[in-house]
């Protein structure tokens, strides 16, 4: 089956020919898999099926000759233009198959026939041969039912045994030995004698302990005789002997396959052929020994799916050998393809098998489907690059990241303009025919992706294809998309990610999944009713009644892209499978404000992936949305109600995406919950799945271990930490995470807050927090305060803030401090819960009065308060709101918050900024939790650039007196997106100021471009420059106050000596 | 509750009452009666939770005064409700119904619970349990609840249904805030905004200014602000500036158009949180100014209709000399310091509990319609609302003019006097 002469790429005629051949082969396959029809009928069917596989089917017929009988449809006479192939059973020629043309055609490779046609006929003949051999074995089988149990005269063991002796000597020898062994164990003296005869007297040679037994020449002649069976006939009935012979014959059939599947040189097509033969060997349902079967499964799993032991263990229990055949039949490989399927494909494949196994007895998941999928094996990308001489691109990953980023667009173009090897084109053509013209998604499935512990999610591309137009157009667009997915292996993001995780030297290969997009066509659009992701573990719980293992679903109307990613300006619907009635948003206003507004769809006319406003789309498609009454609710006054398709008035009704009726009236949430449970318990790890629903059926699109992104993996909680280093601890409602570098704490003192005398002052605390939120370094501070942050009710019970007042914090902590005998309830961030989720802000409740809990109140009480200097307008609240600079309070230490949901423990601990000693296990799980990109690179580079600017600047020309940096560049906290804050002390000269601003503008744009190349963050400007004059400094107005300030002062950079 | 000297809303409400009581020279008995609620009901509501356990919720209903008619006030669901907050709010309801002169008293109620941690079925059980406990002490002629924080029409329907089951017949007037078609009144959404404009119109009349050609600046773009803008335009005024909160930028902005903002245009560019999208506004030709700018416009009318404490001692000086009227659409938008300045400058102020009483008036209409089981057309509701608001306004402004009182003080005086009078007439004090 090895394809040694790939066809000319793009030659669709010859592709059509190959497709014809394959169709023919498949038909033959179907016929030879049937043993229930008389042999004559089988031959005639084969004859009919063969002709269409040839170049001129109208002028073509074929015939089979077997044991002197000839089988030809309609008794056609042979012609001089024919092609013949012998039918061989176990080396004996038993017949032949011939194809005749009824008229003369130009001479080609072999008469009027093509080389490929010769191969086709040979392979058909081979299949007929196999078929006949199996038939002969089957004929040995005792008749069912009526046969009874006694020895029947017709059942003489001699017939079958002799057949084997004459056709397959090696098999016969093996069988003889087996039956002899059997008899020997049963204590048959005759068998003993025979064995002695075979090996001589072996007893004496086994006596010495320290010496190898002498080697004895075997006498096969003993085994080749009928004698072992003669002896056996005295111990077994004829029927029993026949059964034994059959079983061994079949076992021996597995032998070739064991060899094949273990041999790494076997190509995938050979393997497919092997599986097919293997299946034929066991079509009668007889049992293969479990050991052989398991060995086979494991070698197939390793071969195609994964080398990971824990995964192999699970896979071998759920995947049968036949499953691989179906898999290989839908796998496209390059000529000598060996390749694997990559993480995404494997996860889905295994999940499908798990569901198939559990589906029978589990009504909830019985009807879960998976979309039709074709796989492009991982070595396809190498074949593609080799075919186009792109090997040098392989080294791309070792280039500096700036260069990788700069060159990436060219690589994409290069790949897109390259050709695919013929073998891939052929495979894709077949796949495309199989799919028809339904929209497709091309997903990356790399070897690194989805490995346990490395979540590459979203790092590589997934592309939607409308898949409309002529066959040629569709093929070309499919190849274009695959080329782009291939190119994404060399995009800067995954390369940087791999560098960070020490995976850069891994030979990354990219398999590709081609799947039908789940959905319906409505007007010119194509989309599912809804789609989303679901997690076994819920890391964001909005109520103490929700447990971590209750799971979480994020879903949106239309394509699931908006639920998979955090889109920033829109919200998915959240629901907890274990507690579907407990919703994050309860009031009508909340439900409406946090409902999805936009929808992703495929436009089949423009062939584009598009985002629309749901409201507009509904009007455009005249409400013909799949399952509209389940996806949307109508808001009417203060009620949300289910729409009726009949009465829907799109002009008047306010439709809100709530999934109200879906949750209430169907078992959808339960189905997804069960799906998660079954997959997680079988795979022995929490999972993360993607799904889509077309309004009728639920489809599983992806399944992998729940992301072990660093920020979501459980942090190790050290036990031997000195209490003096602990600022707080918690042991209730803890989620996973690790906030390594907290430099500031904003602490609202629960006691002094409660004592504030006026409502106005209470409100001002919220404003103070909002102000500080804008001034502190983003995501490097935490907020701690009493009761319910953002409470809209009684202000005394929690600081009155909106989400925007806390948007830059990395964590929100609510302190439930006992007053009298009363412990207040906490809010769990409900008031802006979805905002917290979408911006990955952590939430933690603290119960300082619980036994065993640390809460270092003196630290918070006694620390120096920066509030008066940071936000002087709120200085009067300094007893209530404390802004603490952790480093200056603790001699340079920073706060590290370790969160571990598995243990339900959290710890806020002081550490040295550079040391990692509080995360010892983080290092052990290097794969799952790597070092973060070194943040110091960002600020250091920024500081260097600032120094450079100062150096290059001509003070006289621009009227510059002094040059300062401040903010994140000064505080060494800059991230990849940070700008460089500069304050420049200048003369009050509008002309010089203008010239300076112009000069700096150039710098700003250049630096922004360089920063983009380094980090991938696109900004127009990188500098944030403010000019101050003597006057400003004297008055300490605005930013000028930072010069020479007591806290967080601007840092002066020496000016260069350049002068014009 | 709470430590000594800390903020207590009920104490604040009492201080305010005492001030007016002094002005009215109320006798000690009347003072004593009005300083505290007439009746308080505290009760337990056992609820079978979805996990099979039973949880007991604390509920209460506080009826401050019903001398002028059945009590009226909302029911709040809040996890940390305090009795003092509810007491203060019930008192405030008594003054509010009195100032618009509708024959109702004041009440408030609540349940200590967090709807975010409750399933809809559990919330329904709380609503029904609430009514089971208090059914004898509420009703169309006793005390009529309404939606409040974290309760909505659905909760009202559950409560009504439970009440009617207990009583064995239909009493739609037992509760308000129901959807139209199930005992709700038309005009509810417009009521507060329109009511606000009726008082503005009357204020202009007092000042002898024709509404046509007047210019206004509005803070907020919620329900109240939108309907106020709508009606203001219809009576010939022009809103030239609107400010609102931008969730994304965590800042508010003012949107100015010298020849008048176009309401539908702005409505079409609001984001999910009700804010106006500033980029789209710019495209439509609006000037985007700072959030504070709404206050500084050269207009005739200022309408703070967003949050409390917006006009303060610090920014009150920025109010243009051209401003003639300030109508408080929001609750408590003006701080006492600012109040003083506004009073001194002689700007005509329509105080919050008069200016935004359109809502409670419409609730009253809902109840009236329910009691006779005959529902009015929109025009009729709005016509009656106009009449009610106008007469309430005239009563207050007449008093203010005659006695040279600040409008806010006049409103309180009239309200408290009416309640005190009813108590006297009934012979309670």
Q: Kindly state whether residue B378 falls inside one of the protein's structural domains.
A: no
Residues 6 or more apart whose CB falls under 8 angstroms from that of A4 comprise A335
Q: Which tokens hold the place of B306?
A: 């967003």
How many domains are there within chain B? Answer: 2
pLDDT of the residue at A930: 37
**Are residue B292 and residue B251 in the same domain, yes or no?**
yes
**Which range of residues forms the domain containing residue B97?**
39-174
Looking at residues A333-359, what average pLDDT do you find? 83
Q: Which of residues 532-561 of A touch B (CB under 8 A)?
A: 542-545
DSSP category for residue A558: B
**What pLDDT score does A88 carry?**
84
Report the mean per-residue pLDDT for chain A.
81
User: Given CB atoms, is B50 within the 8 Å cutoff of chain A?
Assistant: yes
- What is the secondary structure of A205-247 as a DSSP string? GG--SSSPPPP----HHHHHSSHHHHHHHHHS-HHHHHHHHHH
The yes/no answer to whether this complex scores an ipTM above 0.85 is no
Same domain (yes/no): B79, B205: no
Closest chain A residue to B2, measured at CA? A754
Mean pLDDT value across residues A128-137: 76
Query: Are B66 and B125 within one domain?
Result: yes
Q: Is the pLDDT of residue A207 over 60?
A: no
The reply to whether B108 belongs to the active site is yes
CATH code of the domain containing B140: 3.40.50.10860
Tens digits of residue pLDDT in A900-953: 887 888 999 998 875 544 443 433 333 333 344 455 567 778 888 888 888 888
What is the mean pLDDT of the segment spanning A339-346?
A: 81
pLDDT for the residue numbered B235: 93
Residue of B79, B151, B336, B362 to mutate, testing the A interface (most A Cβ within 10 Å of its Cβ): B79
Of B82, B189, B251, the CB nearest to A794: B82
The secondary structure of A986-1024 as a DSSP string is E-S-HHHHHHHHHHHHHHHHHHHHHHHHHH----S--EE
Cα A971–Cα A976–Cα A977 angle in degrees, nearest 5: 90
Same domain for B114 and B58: yes
| Average pLDDT by stretches of 10, chain B with 429 residues | 58 90 94 96 96 93 97 89 89 96 96 88 96 97 93 94 96 95 93 97 95 94 94 95 82 91 93 87 94 94 90 93 95 89 95 94 96 95 97 96 94 97 95
Sign of the alpha-carbon dihedral angle for B363, B366, B372, B377: positive
Q: CATH number of the domain that B323 lies in?
A: 3.40.50.720
Out of A205-209, A881-885, B63-67, pick the least confident: A205-209
The residue from B355, B379, B403 where one domain ends is: B355
Q: CB under 8 Å to B405, separation ≥6 — which residues?
A: B399, B413
Q: Do the domain assignments include residue B404?
A: no
B418 falls within a domain: no
State whether B329 and B237 are in the same domain.
yes
Examine residue B180 and state whether it is found in any structural domain, yes or no: no
For residues B80 and B147, state if they share a domain.
yes
Helix (H), strand (E) at residue A586 = none
A contact residues 268-297, partner B, Cβ 8 Å cutoff: none
Whether residue A597 lies within 8 A of chain B, CB to CB, comes out as: yes
The pLDDT assigned to A300 comes to: 80
Task: Identify which of B17, B30, B21, B24 has the alpha carbon closest to the alpha carbon of residue B399.
Answer: B24
Q: Are residues B159 and B196 in the same domain?
A: no
B95 part of a folded domain: yes
| CB-based contacts of A709, cutoff 8 Å, min separation 6 | A455
Residue A1038: other Cβ atoms inside 10 A = 11
Asked if residue B21 is part of any domain, the answer here is no
DSSP alpha helices (H): ranges in A282-421? 290-300, 309-318, 321-329, 342-359, 380-387, 401-416
Q: How far apart are CA A368 and CA A272, in angstroms?
A: 27
Instruction: Supply φ then ψ for residue A592, to 5 degrees.
Output: -70, -45
Among candidates B2, B117, B247 on the partner chain, residue whose Cβ is nearest the Cβ of A545: B117
The predicted structure's pLDDT at residue B302: 97
Tokens of B205: 């009349």
Strands A905-911 and A726-730: antiparallel
Long-range contacts made by residues B330-334, C-beta under 8 angstroms, separation at least 24? B330/B219, B330/B220, B330/B224, B330/B304, B330/B305, B330/B306, B330/B356, B331/B356, B332/B308, B333/B219, B333/B304, B333/B305, B333/B306, B333/B307, B333/B308, B333/B309, B334/B304, B334/B310
So what's the pLDDT on residue B408?
94
Q: Quick one: B264 and B145 in the same domain?
A: no
Burial letters B402-415, b for 16+ CB under 10 A, else e: eeebbbbbbbbbbb
Distance CA A240, CA A99 (A): 44
- pLDDT score recorded for residue A828: 61
Domain final residue pick, B291, B324, B355: B355
pLDDT digits (tens, 9 = 90+) for B273-307: 788 999 999 999 999 999 999 999 999 999 999 88
Contact with chain A for residue B188, Cβ under 8 A: yes
pLDDT band at A458 (very low <50, low <70, confident <90, very high): low
Q: Has residue B181 been placed in a domain? A: no
B209 and B154 inside one domain: no
Residue A540 zone, left/alpha/beta (φ > 0; ψ -120 to 50; rest): beta
- The rounded percent of chain A whose pLDDT value lies above 90 is 19
For residue A528, pLDDT beyond 90: yes
Catalytic residue among B55, B72, B96, B108: B108
Instruction: Mark which residues 944-963 of A lie under 8 Å from B by CB.
Output: none
Q: What is the pLDDT of residue A557?
A: 96
pLDDT in tens, A365-382: 888 999 999 999 888 888
Tell me the two tokens of residue A204: 């004496």
Let me know whether B91 and B220 are in one domain: no
Residues 6+ apart with CB under 8 A from A902: A714, A736
pLDDT above 50: residue A146:
no
Comparing CB atoms, the residue among A774, A803, A825 nearest residue B114 is A825
**A315-324 long-range Cβ contacts below 8 angstroms, 24+ apart:** A315/A350, A318/A350, A318/A353, A318/A354, A318/A357, A318/A682, A319/A349, A319/A350, A319/A353, A321/A275, A321/A278, A321/A279, A321/A293, A321/A296, A321/A297, A322/A275, A322/A279, A323/A353, A324/A271, A324/A275, A324/A300
CB atoms within 10 A of CB B103: 13
In the sheet that holds A980-986, the strands lie side by side as A1023-1028, A980-986, A960-966, A1051-1053
Q: Is B53 on the interface with A (CB under 8 A)?
A: no
pLDDT at A9: 43
- What is the full DSSP assignment across B357-403? THHHHHHHHHHHHHHHT----HHHHHHHHHHHHHHHHHHHHHHHHHH
Task: Say yes or no: B195 and B331 in one domain.
Answer: yes
In a domain, B382, yes or no: no
Mean pLDDT value of segment A461-486: 90
Does residue B136 share a domain with residue B261? no
B177 and A638 within 8 Å at the Cβ level: the answer is yes
* Domains contained in chain A, CATH given: 12-139 (3.30.450.40), 145-201+218-259 (no CATH), 263-271+288-517 (3.30.1490.20), 525-703 (3.30.470.20), 710-924 (no CATH), 935-1053 (3.30.460)
How many whole angstroms separate alpha carbon B237 and alpha carbon B231?
A: 9
Domain boundary residue among B174, B205, B228?
B174
Cβ-based neighbour number of residue B335 at 10 Å: 19
Q: Which residue in the set A545, A593, A798 is minimally distant from B273, CB to CB?
A: A593
CB contact under 8 A, A788 and B116: no
Q: What is the pLDDT of residues A313-331, one digit of tens each?
A: 888 888 887 788 788 888 8
Q: How many CB pairs under 8 A join A and B?
A: 123
Query: Average pLDDT for residues A760-787, to the nearest whole number?
Result: 86
If one counts every other C-beta atom within 10 angstroms of the C-beta of residue A86, the result is 15
Backbone angles phi and psi of B387, in degrees to 5:
-60, -45
Window 331-370 of B: residues touching A by CB (8 A cutoff) are 335
Q: Are B9 and B88 in contact (CB under 8 A)?
A: yes
Q: Which of B97, B168, B109 has the alpha carbon at shortest distance from B133?
A: B109
Reduced DSSP (H G I as helix, E B as strand, rest coil) percent helix, strand, coil of chain A, to 5: 45, 20, 35
pLDDT at residue A93, as a whole number: 85
Q: How far apart are CA A545 and CA A733, in angstroms?
A: 10
| pLDDT reported for residue A454 | 53
Greater model confidence, A900 or A529: A529
Whether residue A763 contacts residue A866, with contact meaning beta carbons closer than 8 Å, is answered with: no
Q: Report CB contact under 8 Å: B116, A542.
A: yes
Question: Please, which pLDDT band fits residue A4 given cuts at 50, 70 and 90?
Answer: very low
């Amino acid at each position: 089956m090895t394809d040694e002469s790939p066809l000319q790429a793009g030659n669709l005629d010859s592709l059509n020919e190959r497709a014809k051949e394959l169709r023919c082969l498949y038909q033959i396959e179907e016929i030879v898999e049937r043993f229930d029809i008389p042999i004559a009928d089988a031959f005639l069917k084969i004859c009919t099926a063969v002709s269409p596989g040839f170049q001129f089917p109208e002028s073509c017929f074929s015939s089979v000759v077997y044991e002197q009988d000839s089988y030809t449809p309609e008794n056609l006479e042979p012609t001089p233009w024919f092609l013949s192939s012998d039918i061989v059973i176990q080396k004996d020629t038993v017949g032949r198959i011939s194809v005749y043309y009824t008229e003369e055609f130009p001479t080609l490779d072999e008469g009027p026939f093509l080389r490929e046609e010769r191969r086709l006929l040979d392979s058909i003949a081979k299949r007929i041969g196999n078929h006949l051999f199996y038939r002969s074995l089957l004929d040995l089988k005792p008749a069912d039912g009526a046969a009874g149990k006694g020895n029947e005269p017709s059942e003489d063991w001699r017939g079958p045994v002799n057949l084997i002796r004459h056709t397959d000597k090696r098999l016969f020898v093996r069988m003889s030995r087996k039956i002899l062994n059997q008899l020997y164990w049963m204590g048959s003296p005759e068998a003993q004698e025979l064995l002695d005869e075979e090996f001589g007297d072996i007893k004496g040679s086994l006596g010495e302990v320290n010496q190898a037994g002498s080697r004895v020449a075997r006498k096969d002649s003993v085994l080749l005789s009928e004698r072992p069976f003669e002896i056996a006939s005295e111990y077994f009935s004829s029927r029993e002997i026949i059964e034994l012979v059959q079983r061994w014959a079949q076992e021996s059939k597995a032998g070739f396959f064991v060899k094949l599947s273990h041999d790494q040189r076997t190509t995938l097509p050979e393997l497919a052929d092997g599986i097919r033969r293997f299946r034929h060997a066991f079509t009668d349902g007889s049992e293969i020994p479990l050991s052989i079967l398991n060995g086979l499964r494991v070698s197939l799993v390793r071969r195609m799916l994964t080398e990971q032991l824990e995964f192999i263990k699970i896979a071998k229990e759920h995947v049968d050998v036949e499953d691989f055949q179906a898999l290989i039949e839908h796998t496209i490989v390059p000529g000598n393809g060996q390749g694997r399927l990559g993480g995404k494909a494997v996860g889905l494949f295994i999940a499908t098998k798990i569901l198939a196994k559990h589906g029978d007895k589990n009504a909830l998941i019985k009807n879960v489907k998976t979309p039709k999928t074709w796989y492009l094996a991982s070595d396809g990308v190498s074949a593609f690059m080799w075919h186009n001489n792109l090997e040098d691109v392989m080294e791309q990953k070792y280039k500096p990241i700036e260069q990788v980023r700069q060159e990436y667009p060219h690589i994409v173009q290069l790949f897109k303009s390259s050709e695919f090897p013929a073998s891939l084109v052929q495979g894709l053509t077949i796949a495309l025919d199989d799919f028809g013209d339904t929209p497709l998604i091309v997903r990356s499935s790399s070897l690194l992706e989805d490995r346990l512990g490395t979540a590459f999610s979203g790092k590589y591309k997934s592309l939607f294809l409308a898949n409309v137009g002529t066959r040629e157009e569709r093929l070309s667009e499919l190849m274009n998309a695959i080329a782009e997915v291939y190119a994404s292996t060399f995009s800067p993001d995954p390369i940087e990610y791999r560098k960070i995780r020490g995976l850069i030297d891994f030979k990354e290969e990219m398999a590709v999944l081609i799947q039908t997009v789940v959905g319906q066509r409505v007007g010119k659009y194509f989309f599912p009713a809804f789609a989303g992701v679901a997690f076994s573990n819920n890391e964001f719980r909005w109520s103490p009644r929700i447990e971590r293992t209750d799971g979480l679903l994020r879903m949106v109307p239309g394509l699931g892209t908006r639920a998979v990613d955090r889109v920033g300006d829109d919200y998915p619907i959240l629901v907890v499978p274990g507690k579907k009635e407990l919703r994050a948003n309860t009031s009508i206003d909340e439900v409406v404000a946090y409902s999805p507004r936009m929808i992703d769809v495929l436009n089949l006319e423009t062939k584009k992936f598009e985002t629309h406003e749901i409201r507009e789309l509904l009007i455009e498609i005249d409400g013909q949305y799949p399952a509209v009454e389940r996806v949307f609710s109508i808001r009417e006054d203060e009620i949300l109600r289910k729409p009726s398709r009949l009465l829907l008035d799109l002009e008047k009704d306010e439709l809100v995406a709530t999934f109200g009726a879906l949750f209430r009236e169907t078992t959808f949430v339960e189905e997804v919950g069960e799906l998660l449970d079954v997959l997680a318990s079988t795979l022995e790890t929490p999972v993360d799945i993607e799904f889509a629903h077309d309004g009728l059926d639920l489809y599983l699109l992806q399944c992998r271990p729940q992301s072990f992104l660093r920020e979501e993996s459980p942090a190790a909680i050290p036990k031997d930490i000195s209490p003096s280093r602990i600022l707080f601890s918690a042991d209730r409602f803890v989620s996973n995470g690790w906030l390594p570098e907290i430099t500031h704490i904003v602490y609202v003192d629960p006691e002094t807050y409660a004592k504030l005398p006026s409502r106005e002052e209470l409100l001002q605390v919220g404003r103070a927090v909002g102000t500080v939120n804008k001034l502190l370094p983003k995501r490097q501070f935490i907020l701690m305060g009493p009761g319910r942050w953002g409470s809209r009710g009684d202000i005394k019970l929690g600081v009155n803030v909106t989400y925007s007042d806390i948007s830059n914090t990395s964590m929100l902590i609510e302190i439930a401090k006992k007053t009298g005998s009363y412990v207040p309830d906490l809010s769990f961030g409900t008031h802006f819960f979805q905002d917290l989720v979408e911006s990955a802000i952590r939430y933690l409740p603290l119960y300082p009065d619980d036994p065993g809990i640390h809460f270092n109140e003196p630290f918070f009480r006694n620390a120096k308060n920066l509030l008066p200097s940071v936000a002087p307008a709120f200085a009067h609240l300094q007893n209530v709101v404390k802004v603490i600079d952790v480093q200056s309070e603790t001699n340079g230490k920073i706060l590290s918050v370790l969160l571990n949901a598995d243990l339900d423990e959290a710890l806020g601990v002081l550490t040295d900024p550079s040391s990692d000693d509080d995360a010892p296990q983080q290092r052990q799980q290097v794969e799952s939790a790597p070092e973060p990109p070194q943040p110091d690179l960002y600020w250091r580079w920024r500081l260097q650039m600032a120094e450079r600017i100062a150096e290059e600047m001509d003070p006289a020309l621009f009227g510059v007196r002094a040059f300062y940096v401040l903010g994140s560049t000064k505080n060494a906290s800059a991230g990849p997106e940070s700008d460089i804050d500069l304050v420049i002390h200048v003369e009050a000269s509008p002309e010089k100021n203008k010239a300076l601003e112009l000069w700096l503008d150039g710098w700003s744009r250049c630096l922004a471009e360089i920063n983009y190349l380094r980090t991938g963050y696109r900004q127009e400007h990188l500098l944030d420059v403010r000019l101050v004059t003597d006057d400003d400094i004297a008055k300490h107005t605005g930013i000028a106050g930072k010069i020479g300030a007591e806290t967080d002062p601007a840092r002066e950079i020496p000016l260069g000596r350049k002068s014009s | 509750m709470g430590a000594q000297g800390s903020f207590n809303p009920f104490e604040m409400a009492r201080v305010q009452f005492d001030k007016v009581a002094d002005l009215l020279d109320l006798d000690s008995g009347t003072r004593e009666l009005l300083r505290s609620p007439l009746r308080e009901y505290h009760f337990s509501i056992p609820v079978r939770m979805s996990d099979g356990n039973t949880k007991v919720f604390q509920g209460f209903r506080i009826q401050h005064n019903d001398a002028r008619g059945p009590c009226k006030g909302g029911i709040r669901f809040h996890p940390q409700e305090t009795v003092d907050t509810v007491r203060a709010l019930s008192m405030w309801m008594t003054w509010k119904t009195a100032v618009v002169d509708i024959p109702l008293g004041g009440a408030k109620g609540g349940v200590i619970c967090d709807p975010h941690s409750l399933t809809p079925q559990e919330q329904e059980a709380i609503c029904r349990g609430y009514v089971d406990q208090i059914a004898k002490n509420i009703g169309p002629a006793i005390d009529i609840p309404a939606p409040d924080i974290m309760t909505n029409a659905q909760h009202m329907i559950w409560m009504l249904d439970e009440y009617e089951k207990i009583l064995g017949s239909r009493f739609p007037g037992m509760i308000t805030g129901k959807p139209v078609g199930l005992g709700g009144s038309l005009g509810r959404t417009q009521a507060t905004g329109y009511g606000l404009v009726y008082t503005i119109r009357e204020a202009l009349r007092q000042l002898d200014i024709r509404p046509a050609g007047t210019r206004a600046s509005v803070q907020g773009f919620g329900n109240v602000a939108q309907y106020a803008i709508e009606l203001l335009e219809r009576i010939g005024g022009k809103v030239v500036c609107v400010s609102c909160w931008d969730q994304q930028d965590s800042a508010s902005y003012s949107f100015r158009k010298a020849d008048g903002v176009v309401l539908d245009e702005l409505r079409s560019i609001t984001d999910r949180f009700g804010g106006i999208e500033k980029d789209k506004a710019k495209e439509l030709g609006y000037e985007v100014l700072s959030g504070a700018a709404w206050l500084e416009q050269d207009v005739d009318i200022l309408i703070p209709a967003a949050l409390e404490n917006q006009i303060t001692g610090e920014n009150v000086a920025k109010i243009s000399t051209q401003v003639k009227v300030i109508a408080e659409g929001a609750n408590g938008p003006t701080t006492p310091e600012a109040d003083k300045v506004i009073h001194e400058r002689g700007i005509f102020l329509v105080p919050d509990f008069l200016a935004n009483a359109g809502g409670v008036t419409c609730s009253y209409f809902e109840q009236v319609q329910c009691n006779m089981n005959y529902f009015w057309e929109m025009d009729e509701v709005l016509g009656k609302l106009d009449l009610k608001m106008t007469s309430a306004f005239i009563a207050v402004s007449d008093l203010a003019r005659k006695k040279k009182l600040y409008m806010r003080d006049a409103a309180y005086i009239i309200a408290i006097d009416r309640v005190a009078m009813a108590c006297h007439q009934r012979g309670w004090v």
